Amino acid sequence: MFLVSLLKTIGKMVVDKSPKLNYCNKVILAPMVRVGTLPTRLLALEMGADIVYSEELIDLKLVKCKRIINELLSTVDYIDPSDGTIAFRTCDLEKPFVVLQMGTSDATRALAVGQLVQNDISGLDINMGCPKEFSIKGGMGAALMAQPDKAVHILKTLVDNLRIPVTCKIRILPNLQDTVELVKKLASTGISALAIHARTRDERPQHNPHPDFIREIVKHVSIPIIANGGSRDIQKYADILKFRLDCNASSVMVARAAQLNVSIFRKEGLLPIDEVIFRYLKLSVDYDNPPHNTKYGIQSILRDLQMTPRGKKFLQCQTMQQMCEIWDLGDYCRNKELEIFRRGKVGRRKVMPDQIINRDLDDGEIATKKPKTENKIEISVIEDIIEENISFLRCNYSSDVRLFPKSVLYTYANIQNKLPACYETEGQNKLFRSMCKFDGKLYRSTFWQKNKRQAEQAAALVCLKHIGLVAEEELIKNGSILR
């Protein structure tokens, strides 16, 4: 019995002594909404960041997520079962360095999320500094600074019940002594570090930061203090270290400067923005990052260059393929997307109304309800419907409506003295699919579009392909067809 007890004790000691994230002498990617997704975090680590924070994720969304092992991408995905969207995606490459930042106003809910995600991250941070109206109205972010007892309760609950380090991020208060007292209370909870943005809740990037506040705060607590808010004066890696020195902080956290060019973490110097975009795009393709999120990231890098001819072309892009073509990654993107698609990924190409992710199914298997149809045409009695999975992508067409598939088909019908095509559309759960009747035949795309007009254009596109007015090679090249 003694030996068994001893072995259990030793086993517990081994677990308790497992490596934990250290917040001293670190250069850190700050949490940034819409920016801090997996591709940016991985690129920041590649460039030299020591720790990377996720964008702020709200507890109400995370707590209902289902954890999925994504074997196609070698990632762990936290998926909202109500709509299939990915709330958080991570992977083994970043696990030793990633901190998930959470927005919360409730200790019980925060703990539930912490227990859900703690095996996939190395730290959990509570956002107590965000000044945005959404956070404030929800009692989150900077609102917690005005409720220190509540903030302390949340942090203490997490520290006492999680295996990973817990931190928080605040802003300074207008009064230095009030800030010092708040920091003391927060530090007393046992958190592993505290990040401080050197501006008040009402100050913005155009205002000067207050490193003197942080210098004074450091004197009153023993935990690592992470300085944030110096991006305006950070143009190169050495400037990061200078800001840290100005604040006398343990570590430094970089936001805006990293958003503009994540190679700010390179000791060797900044990379040209085209190389940064190329690497970011490649990671976005590798990890199936949503196109709209990738586009936002590139816009942040391009800034004024969005007004150049190439920048304007980029702004018209809607698909990952189109963005990749601009930076010579077209073939790579096409091959990667095809690989993922052929291996069974359920994505936009397979979306149908009423699709849900069922908590009782394994690994994100899709449970599909058959959509109801409101078509006037009785589909069941029609034997000869020509169908293809062709999507109508608005970005492939200029503003000239005469070049749209429906217009091209209408013009063709007039020239050939045939009756114009007619369309009937079925809709369910904000998705639409149309049938095009032309010259005695029926054409339909199996791709469900987001509105009725696009659904009709997709049906016309199927017709145009089969009557030889649009080449399959063109549709494959512009992303309308995946083969």
Cβ-Cβ contacts under 8 Å for 126 (sequence gap 6 or more)? 101, 102, 104, 110, 144, 151, 154, 155, 158, 166, 167, 168, 169
Which of the residues 130, 168, 317, 436 is marked catalytic? 130
Q: What tokens appear for 232 in the block?
A: 């305006």
159's enclosing H/E stretch is helix 148-161
Q: How many residues does the chain have?
A: 483
Is residue 439 classed as helix, strand or coil in its secondary structure? Answer: coil
Q: What is the DSSP letter of 217?
A: H
The type of residue at 136 is: I
- 3-class SS shares of the chain: helix, strand, coil, % to 5: 45, 15, 40
Nearest CA to 113 out of 54, 29, 183, 52 is that of: 54
Report CA-CA distances (Å) from 408 to 22, 395, 414, 422, 451: 63, 17, 10, 14, 20
Q: Which residues lie closer than 8 Å to 424 by C-beta, 6 or more apart?
A: 375, 376, 377, 434, 435, 437
Residue with tokens 């509105």: 451
- Tell me, yes or no, if 395 is annotated catalytic: no
**235-257 exposure pattern, b = at least 16 Cβ within 10 A, e = fewer:** eebebbeebbebbbbbbbbbbbb
Catalytic residues: 130
